[in-house]
Amino acid sequence: MAYYFRLGQIPPKRHTQFRQPDGSLYKEELVSSKGFSGIYSNLYHIYNPNEVKSIGTPKPFSWEPAKAHGLNQTHLKTSGVDTTGEDYLSARRMLMMNNDVMMGICSPRQRKMDYYFKNADGDELIYIHDGEGVLYSQFGKLEVKKGDYVVIPRTTIYRFEFAEEGPLRLLVIESHGPIETVKRYRNEVGQLLEHSPYCERDIRPPHELHIEREKGDYLVQIKKQGFLHQYSYGHSPLDIVGWDGYLYPYALSIHDFEPITGRIHQPPPVHQTFQAWGFVICSFVPRLFDYHPLAIPAPYNHSNIDSDEVLYYAEGEFMSRKGIDRGSFTIHMGGLPHGPHPGTVEKSIGAKETHEYAVMLDTHRPLFITTDALEFVDKNYPMSWTE
């Protein structure tokens, strides 16, 4: 993130004495990116963050690409999925992957985590498709709700508590590189520019500290290189009395993304919301259609020569697609043209607006579906343009 934030008690100067009521020192921790040259935050602990009580046996936690899927336009029929597993981690089903990014779904039966999670491999973006709850982390309490993108920097220690009532459906994206606001939306000091489709007012950092002082048994599961490493501590990792900096989890609602429109059909980059190494994330939201007198609102046919395109259909009806339901994915692979289904182009002419919501992932390198995704593949989709 590109703006400074602080919560709780911090000393006037970094790396100086900051004492607890009993006279002992608070334990300062620098959480930094890109060594010491990226964004960072300074956190102040009651207890020493290095005090490990025990280390358990690592548990495998990885996905494999499906080798025999081939070059096919793909529809993953995940709309009817109710729950995908018991808890937040076992319910993760990554459906697409390459060396830069993984994307999948998560609908756990358990709404509260009885452990903490740290992703030491990558940044995470959690899109709250259905549900609401609270993200608790070292940085404090962040309330999240339907339509939120929740950006969680790598190594953040956190747990979710979701509301017990109603559906819970999460879209999970894990990035090998940092997930950032879009560079062309920022000025030279990082402030979001006037033409940006969202601004700092729309970005919600944690709004209050959540200090857990009690000692006991606290499990942190750390994802690293295909395993969940089991670290037990005698105190909570959420023992922070204050912090400041530029690195922290935050939420941005898709409902606060302001669409950019024009006289003729605008290309997908106008919908870009985040950037990362090897991919971008875009938001399709309700908007007025093109206003040229001969405009065609439906998108034109497109050949990806150097990227793969994924659409996750969140709400509404996409006028260019038939037979795609809420909560499904389409994957249009580089090397093949894709475009509107037959009849949808003529049908779109004269339409004034759309009420759709979708999340798009565009990768710069080939994307592969995983073995977990095979059960959801719509085998008829590659031939659906002949119907």
Binding-site residue set: 302, 308, 338
Separation of alpha carbons 271 and 360, rounded Å: 9
Q: Could you say which DSSP state residue 67 is in?
A: T
Annotated binding residues for homogentisate: 338
- Judge whether 45 counts as a catalytic residue: no
Q: Could you say which DSSP state residue 344 is in?
A: H
Annotated binding residues for Fe cation: 302, 308, 338
HEC sequence for 19-51:
ECCCCCECEEEEEECCCCCCCEEEEEECCCCCC
Separation of alpha carbons 46 and 196, rounded Å: 40
Opening angle at CA 260, ends 257 and 265, nearest 5: 135
Amino acid at 226: G
The encoded tokens of residue 99 equal 């060396």
Separation of alpha carbons 54 and 77, rounded Å: 42
Amino acid at 29: E
Which position among 69, 176, 255, 265 bears the catalytic label?
265
CA atoms within 13 A on the CB side of 155: 12
Active site residues: 265
